Amino acid sequence: MEDTANTVVLATEATDAEGVDTDLMSRVIPIMGAGNLKKMMSLRVLVSGMSGVGAEIAKNCILCGLGAVTVHDTQNVEWRDLAAHFYLSPSDVGKNRATCSVTQLSELNPYTKVTANTGPLDDAFLKTFSVVVLANADSQAEVLRVSDFCHENDIVFIKADVRGLFSAIFTDFGKVHKVQDKTGEEPKQAIVAAVSQANPCVVTTHEDKPHGLGTGDYVYFEEIEGMTELNSSEKDPVVYEVVGVKGLYAFEIKVDSTGFKPYTGRGLVNEIKIETPLKFKSYRESLEKPGDFIISDFAKFGRAEQYHIGFQALSEFQSKKGALPKAGCKDDAKAFLEIARELNEASKKKEGSHNVDSVDEDLLAKLAITAQGTLNPLCAFVGGVVAQEVLKKTGKFHPIYQWFYFDSLECLPEKVEDRILEGTRYDGQIAVFGKAFQQKLFDLNLFLVGAGALGCEFLKNFALMGVACGNAESNKGLLFLTDMDNIEKSNLSRQFLFRDSDIHKMKSACASRSAKVMNSELRIKASEIPVGEDTEDTFTEEFWKSQDVIVNALDNIKARLYVDSQCVKNLKPLLESGTLGTKANSQVVYPRITESYASSRDPPDAAIPMCTLKNFPHQIEHTIEWARNLFAGNFANSFEDSNTFATGDDFISSVLGSGSAPATQRERLAALDDVLALYKNGTVTFADCVAWGRKQFQELYYNAIMQLLFNFPEDAVTSTGAAFWSGPKRPPVPLTFDAEDQEHLEFIVATANLLAASMGIDQERDYKKVAELAKKVTVEPFTPKSGIKIKGGEDDETVEGADDDEVIVKRLVEKLNALDKSKLTAKKNAETGRVFDPQVFEKDDDKNFHVAFMTSASNLRAANYRIKPADFHKTKKIAGRIIPAIATTTAMITGLVALELYKIVQSLGLPAHDTKDLAEGAPRALPIESYRNSYINLALPSFVQSEPMPCKKNVTNPAKGLFYYPEGWTLWDNFTINEPNITFQQFLDYFKNTHGLTVVSMSCGTSLVYNPYFPAHKERLGKSIEDFVRSDVPSYSIKPQDKFINLVVLCENDEEQDVEIPDPVRLRIAKH
């Protein structure tokens, strides 16, 4: 076994979560892990330099629940600080930046101790911290001293600089830093289909799903038959390195298996995390020998090497002149470039020291002339990235190694001649873009859809940028915000505009109020109306056309698609973004230039096949979904049915008349009978609930499994002679109840308490008492039944059920009809008028037994099928469909989106595209290569930016029988006919005379309204299309606010060839 990679150190992740507020951090736990959150609670972090970027870093660290954050500064507030610092106001100018920030920062999280310090960074002070961050540090000598001390004392050191449109991040995690989880992804698991006797050994996996492994990953094997030499266990794994990937379903491992016994069947391969040791250079050493730079944009290849010299030259300039180069000052830029050249030439004389062939003077001059600028979007981006680096002190995720330079130089207009700083809160932005550009921001009409995590960050960004912050008397500029949700406690870990006192209030109102505090000049209107087809009377065509840009801050695809469709319809720019844990993406959608959001998006997740859920699970996701369904059946649906039955409604007739199979009817009526039998006309006790739970355990985890194995024994074969229990099908093992087994008892406790809650009796949370009650329950021995039919797979056409289903249904109906409902309803709730209280799944209450039940129910089923169990938090995430979210990712991606807004604003006021016969003109845009879509994963870390995909142009290709009119139309185009009351004949004539096309079909809604081959259709040629749609097309509703009717029109050319035209054709409405 000497070829195995079993000498690696296995990763260990903390699991102790005592003291973690799981309600507050429920969206962060799936990302960092509850144990790492506790480690974060012990971290002490210093953020020195409370400029805009320092404030962003501190804010994100506090929201993530670090133990203590000290904000430090020796400098006073300047006007330009207000352009990016959300907790400074004009009255703070001249006061210390740290002391002005600390009070509001401390309100973000009651679990984080936030203090301010204005003294020197002496060694004794520095030694009290786990992580030291220097933000926009002025003195290079001070940076070197602090970084050297941190390197020698095992303190993580991070340096972050934001200068205009340029930024630099450096990290030093010490001489030895151990990464326990580089990616944060769940370990992969696959079913083994074959293993070769070879060197290297080739493992083939079942085509149920791709193995997902990559070169350099490590795995161990379980349950292999034949080649048992590979087998080990999670507790004592023998680990093999993946040395090659041979497609989606095969990979090579570093082992010579030629002498092993042949593989004969079954088995699992499991990815396992290993500890990755990293060695970091000190800041002093890495200035000369930086190593590889992180590249975020291959269109900017080679810039990082220039910036490494440029940022050192900025520090040298600041040391000599006492300030950064003045905004737009050519003389200062010239002096700065001279320093950069001198540094580069000096480096060339040192062996191994970083240098470039020649300084890119045009590039670095732009760094110099904008360096005094302070831009909130870039501060937000860097603040998110750096705060995530701080969290990596825990060993979770891979740090930046070690330099990351980033610019958004495409934002810079070609000419800026009015960088006039007049002592306003926008000076930091004017230093980069000038006053005229700032006025465009003031006058902007922006529609922000959503006030959740993304929305809060956007509001902060826009308020500081001056979006819709112009003179109120001019009546120009408005930020319209809408969100229909209210605030929950779990929101507070990343939606930083909200406080405890806002819980249960509406997000839009609270968020707009907080944004106004940051900038009182903000002109904002808050709404609680959702955006969709049902609210087009509010969000009318006039509304959409009045907007300059739309920004999505949504968390569901349906709403995103609707907003996207309105932007396409009304030719409006859309800025789209989303997050998933440490991952984020952003997209620029620009009329006539780019594709839309709907053009390319991930396919929906595949549903779990019913047979897999019911009888053949092989992943923990399967057992969790099964447990979720069990919760709904046992504690929601059955009690809803019981209430319906008790009220006197003809429930039984509705079940019998539903058309469902006898097995389904039996299941539903039996569940009702169980509830009523347990309730005993209101005399039910908690002991009865425990007894029911104990019998449920027996039925689910022993009886049902024994019945399945009776139908399909372990040696069963299919009709083709293949082993039935193979591939994804894993033969289960029955469980025998043990009251001393914690997982068994968890199920009984959760089940009994949920029943008690549903029946309105007192609960019992004492596990010992419940265990004693459970031990007293007698269960009947199980005997398999021969009349039970079970599907053997998704393609099996067997009708599931039992031979006696119809007989049992009849008996149940007779029994239920004989009940005296007056006794049943004698103790109904006076307020609700209901007998029972069905449980509605609430994932954010950890004490209501909802997730506790699903966790135990799922893990017991996992034990049946030898699937690795999931803890409470993982079950909560999957069962609750929780989207993991963390403040760092949210702040980072909204910063990138706001940078794209600068580019869109540049185009405002330019003449529209000439669109001739098509829809109204779209705004001018910068070249597509100026815009950036982003794909970020802060865990790895990975930063990828690229220009958006252009919209597809439909080009005629006679060889393929493809004909388009007008040539090259895109998704942004449509025909608009501004002739109200046009008749069918006039419509046909218009297309023939104007465009040379013959209309062969017209549809409206789901109705075909014209086809020349239908005699009846010819009779309507003289009718008004609008009148006909109103009276004869029920599938299409013309709303009062509609201005157009949308028609789908098929055409032919003179050669009778099908010609595709833009969809839809919009016909102006005359009547309202």
Enumerate the active-site residues: 611
Amino acid at 632: A
Specify whether the CB–CB gap between 702 and 735 falls below 8 A: yes
Alpha-carbon distances of 627 from 612, 616, 697, 878, 879, rounded to whole Å: 13, 14, 13, 11, 8
CA 730/CA 725 separation, integer angstroms: 6
CA 146/CA 144 separation, integer angstroms: 6
Residues with Cβ < 8 Å from 900, sequence gap 6 or more?
Answer: 575, 586, 588, 931, 932
CA 653/CA 828 separation, integer angstroms: 23
Alpha-carbon distances of 471 from 444, 447, 466, 475, 523, rounded to whole Å: 12, 19, 11, 7, 9
Mode of pairing for the β-strands spanning 268-271 and 218-222: antiparallel
SS3 state at 541: helix
Strand boundaries in 837-920, DSSP class E? none
Q: DSSP secondary-structure letter at 962?
A: B
DSSP 138-168: S-HHHHHHHHHHHHHTT-EEEEEEEETTEEE
Q: DSSP secondary-structure letter at 701?
A: I
Planar angle of CA 857, 883, 462, nearest 5 degrees: 160
Residues with Cβ < 8 Å from 343, sequence gap 6 or more?
Answer: 309, 312, 313, 316
Residues with Cβ < 8 Å from 781, sequence gap 6 or more?
Answer: none
Alpha-carbon distances of 508 from 89, 211, 538, rounded to whole Å: 23, 44, 16
Residues with Cβ < 8 Å from 201, sequence gap 6 or more?
Answer: 195, 252, 253, 255, 256, 257
Mode of pairing for the β-strands spanning 583-589 and 933-937: antiparallel
Beta strands across the sheet bearing 156-163:
113-117, 68-72, 44-48, 131-135, 156-163, 166-172, 403-407, 293-294
Q: DSSP secondary-structure letter at 899?
A: H
Q: DSSP secondary-structure letter at 736?
A: -
CA 1055/CA 469 separation, integer angstroms: 58
262: burial class by Cβ within 10 Å (0-12, 13-18, 19+)? exposed
CA 1002/CA 1012 separation, integer angstroms: 10
Amino acid at 960: K
Mode of pairing for the β-strands spanning 583-589 and 574-580: antiparallel
Residues with Cβ < 8 Å from 325, sequence gap 6 or more?
Answer: 314, 317, 332, 333, 335, 336, 368, 369, 371, 372
CA atoms within 13 A on the CB side of 830: 0
CA 134/CA 125 separation, integer angstroms: 14
CA 225/CA 203 separation, integer angstroms: 14
Q: Sign of torsion, CA 120 123 129 133?
A: positive
CA atoms within 13 A on the CB side of 90: 8
